[in-house]
A and B are shown apart, each in its own frame.
Chain A
Amino acid sequence: MELLLQQIFNGIMFGSTYAIVALGLTLVMGILSIPNFAHGHLYMLGGYITFFFISATGLGFWLSMLLSVITLGLIGVLMERMVYRPLTDQPHINAFIAAIGALLFLEALALVVWGPQGLRIPNPYPQNIQFLGITMGLQRLLVIGGAAVLILCLHLFMKKTLMGTTIEAVAQNREGAMLNGINVNRVSAITFGISSATAAIAASFLSPIFMLSPSMGAILGMKAFIIVILGGMGSIPGAILGGYILGLIEALGGGYVSAAYKDVFAFGALIVILSFKPTGIFGKKEA
């Protein structure tokens, strides 16, 4: 029983990260139809930038995180402008190739600047809490709580602010939004910025308990991609739910069934679900 609870806790923690990262990706994929396969690598870069601010400037964890989020947001805007916008009118597969180019570039950049060794950010909250027989690291609880707050903020932003509703309008009908005088390019840039900033938040929360390495984003990026498709492209509740489901499948599958085939469960679940619902759980019928 304790083991089960512990695994559920682990699963929720995984799921929180997946949810944040997938959330950022679903915005970009749903609204801009950009298959941003480099999203996981933006997450990696976010972690390194937080590390940079902590180690080079001596700023505290929270301030460094804030700076990193801003920096990555700007990098996101830049990336949309330089890599994806010129490809707007081309087939999606070309944007996918550009994404592969971008991720190779980012990974090589991290390797050149910070080297291949794993780097650590000192854990600001190393304490542990015992509860119902399960052990919970404070930083891990922070990841879960932080994800929940972030999801709430993003929800309020999308529903209550003009910018948020504009983004949604563009997602629903790009041409229509354009006819209504919305500057679609500006919306694209802002969306990309927000998406990258959320990746930096996820990376900053996690890097004190994990380790930074240039290739850390590859698998996460792929999983986020899968979650987005699983939930339905562009669907925010889909990304959140998909993230938590994947986290739980992995923790329980890896803990109870087979650790070696852990990822097979996650990827297999996607195939099964898409076989029954070809456009994802919350997906709209594709035109």
Chain B
Amino acid sequence: MTRRSKLFPTGLLVALLAWGMLCTGALAAEIVIGFTGPLSGPGAGYGRDNANGLKMAADDINKAGGITVKGKKYTFKVEALDDMIDPSAAVNNARRLVSRSGARIIYNPVFNTIAPLMQINEQRGSEFLLMAYSSTPKIEEIKNESTVSIPPPFTAYVQAFSDIAWEKGWRKAAMVVTLGAYGDEWRETFKHYWTEKGGQVVADKPANYYTETDFSSQLSAALATNPEFLLIGGPSEPTGLVIEQARNLGFKGGFMLVDQAKMDYIANVVFKGDLSVMQNVIGINAVRNLPAQIVADFTKRYEDTYKVHVTFEAALNYSSMFIIADAMQAAGTVDDPKAIKAAFAKVLPQSGDKVPTPYQGILTQKLLVDGAVGVIDKGAYQKGYQYVWWPKDEAAFNKSKETLAVSPNIDVRWLPVKGYLQN
């Protein structure tokens, strides 16, 4: 009898204690914006860029006095949880954010975790608005009315980059892009678009940018086919390594960077500001070269606060938080996700003196923002481009130009994205 008599109460006590600790957690007085994403593991840098943008936006909104909804003042708080890109952890985090912290808006930056979150965000009693930072069109294959995607579609970049490369006279491409959901889609889309244009793809040698550091085997094979330019990219740092290793192997041609890799980050962090290795590079524009008036100030404050290089993820998330703040005021509610989302259209377009990447509108579940393309050549950043991809015709494009932030160093172009806007 004595064997069990002590064991059971001890076990029960431990269990009760754990349960009690789990069940505590008061509802915060402020509006909690949830974030679940990779804060450790291989995607940590990317996840933190996303979260930092949100945190800075919340701080800025709070400093300006917060928001007033139905006569009541609110401030924002970003609660960021780590999911290491594990779907079940992401779902746990979302549940926690909704039921513990009362979050009605949850951000997530990876498609692998966005998909499972889209299964639960419309469940009655625990609805939340999913702010998805993912540029894959696959999101639209899942029917979901409470999801909004934040970045421009990557297909817009595929076409914009290809057009510029074509203008430069490049024809023969070789691909050494990262493995992974993102890289796979880029390769496929680029190959399709580039060959349709009349170009050639002479080699496709993907490498895992997340786990490898030496790309010389793939690069040697790709360069043996004598391409005029290489389509490369994944996270920024290894992309810098690929550029360096390709140059060391004697490659003189150009580079096209998939939009996950940031040319300014590579130039400043990997090459310590030395643009000479980055000769002839097409990619997503440097945040500091964007036309919005607030950009210089935003960049400086961001880099001072978080001690990391500014990225597009931070800028776009920052801007999107302002939509949420404005939409809550316009909708007159802080906890009805559907109503908040419905008010998005009322508060757009944003202005360039408030946010670094002003959003222009919303299309069903997709926020509209132009794709910014930059070119590094002859040791300097060349004239950039802004690709407006959503207008259906010339007239709509001219109209959108009125609200767009512009700068003399940037060419605004209209680029109807193929296979994207039929609906």
Which A residues fall within an 8 A CB radius of B? 2-3, 6-7, 10-11, 13-14, 107-108, 111, 115-118, 120, 128, 135, 137, 206, 209-211, 213-216, 218-219, 250-251, 254-256, 259-260
Specify which of B40, B212, B218, B309 is in contact with A255 (CB 8 Å cutoff).
B218
- Nearest chain A CB to B148 CB, angstrom units: 26
Which of B41-49, B139-147, B161-169, B252-260 has 4 or more CB atoms under 8 Å from chain A? B41-49
Specify which of A115, A120, A135, A213 is in contact with B308 (CB 8 Å cutoff).
A115
Q: A59 to B237, alpha carbons, bound, how many Å?
A: 25
List CB contacts (< 8 Å) of B305-347 with chain A: 308-309
Specify which of A137, A218, A251 is in contact with B248 (CB 8 Å cutoff).
A137
List 13 A-B residue pairs with CB atoms under 8 Å apart, sorted by A's residue number: A3-B221, A10-B220, A13-B216, A111-B44, A117-B45, A118-B270, A135-B249, A206-B213, A209-B214, A215-B210, A219-B211, A250-B217, A254-B218
Contact A254 B249 (CB under 8 A): no
Q: A206 to B212, alpha carbons, bound, how many Å?
A: 12
Contact B221 A256 (CB under 8 A): yes
Contact A11 B248 (CB under 8 A): no
CB neighbours of A11 from chain B (8 A): 217
Q: A135 to B250, alpha carbons, bound, how many Å?
A: 8
CB neighbours of A260 from chain B (8 A): 179, 206
B269 within 8 A of A: yes
Contact B217 A7 (CB under 8 A): yes
Q: A117 to B213, alpha carbons, bound, how many Å?
A: 14
Specify which of A111, A128, A254 is in contact with B217 (CB 8 Å cutoff).
A254
CB neighbours of A250 from chain B (8 A): 217
Contact B217 A255 (CB under 8 A): yes
| Given known A-B contacts A10-B214, A117-B269, A251-B217, A259 and B207 have beta carbons under 8 A apart | yes
List CB contacts (< 8 Å) of B179-208 with chain A: 179, 205-207
List CB contacts (< 8 Å) of B197-247 with chain A: 205-207, 210-214, 216-218, 220-221, 224, 237-238, 240-241, 245
Name which residue of chain A comes closest to B41, CB basis.
Answer: A215
- Nearest chain A CB to B78 CB, angstrom units: 18
Name which residue of chain A comes closest to B265, CB basis.
Answer: A117
Contact B238 A218 (CB under 8 A): no
Interface residues contributed by chain B, number (CB under 8 Å): 33
- Nearest chain A CB to B247 CB, angstrom units: 9
Q: A245 to B180, alpha carbons, bound, how many Å?
A: 27
- Nearest chain A CB to B243 CB, angstrom units: 12
Contact A213 B214 (CB under 8 A): no
| Given known A-B contacts A108-B40, A111-B44, A259-B205, A213 and B221 have beta carbons under 8 A apart | no
| Given known A-B contacts A135-B250, A211-B213, A117 and B237 have beta carbons under 8 A apart | yes
CB neighbours of B213 from chain A (8 A): 206, 210-211, 216
- Nearest chain B CB to A42 CB, angstrom units: 17
Q: A135 to B309, alpha carbons, bound, how many Å?
A: 33
Q: A115 to B44, alpha carbons, bound, how many Å?
A: 9
Specify which of A120, A218, A251 is in contact with B211 (CB 8 Å cutoff).
A218
Which B residues fall within an 8 A CB radius of A? 40-42, 44-45, 48, 179, 205-207, 210-214, 216-218, 220-221, 224, 237-238, 240-241, 245, 248-250, 269-270, 308-309
Contact A128 B221 (CB under 8 A): no
Contact A116 B211 (CB under 8 A): no
| Given known A-B contacts A3-B224, A210-B241, A259-B207, A117 and B308 have beta carbons under 8 A apart | yes
Specify which of B44, B248, B270, B309 is in contact with A116 (CB 8 Å cutoff).
B44
Contact B237 A211 (CB under 8 A): yes
CB neighbours of A115 from chain B (8 A): 45, 308
Name which residue of chain A comes closest to B271, CB basis.
Answer: A120
Name which residue of chain B comes closest to A127, CB basis.
Answer: B248
CB neighbours of B211 from chain A (8 A): 215, 218-219
Contact A3 B220 (CB under 8 A): yes
Q: Which A-B residue pairs are the 8 nearest by beta carbons?
A: A118-B237, A116-B44, A210-B213, A116-B45, A255-B221, A251-B217, A3-B224, A219-B211
Contact B206 A255 (CB under 8 A): no
CB neighbours of B221 from chain A (8 A): 3, 7, 254-256, 259
CB neighbours of B206 from chain A (8 A): 259-260
- Nearest chain A CB to B224 CB, angstrom units: 4
Q: A159 to B158, alpha carbons, bound, how many Å?
A: 60
Specify which of A117, A211, A215, A255 is in contact with B42 (CB 8 Å cutoff).
A215
Q: A157 to B28, alpha carbons, bound, how many Å?
A: 63
Q: A118 to B261, alpha carbons, bound, how many Å?
A: 13
- Nearest chain B CB to A65 CB, angstrom units: 18
Most B-side CB within 10 Å, residue of A6, A7, A250: A6
Contact A211 B217 (CB under 8 A): no
CB neighbours of B207 from chain A (8 A): 254, 259
CB neighbours of A255 from chain B (8 A): 205, 217-218, 220-221
Specify which of A6, A206, A214, A218 is in contact with B220 (CB 8 Å cutoff).
A6
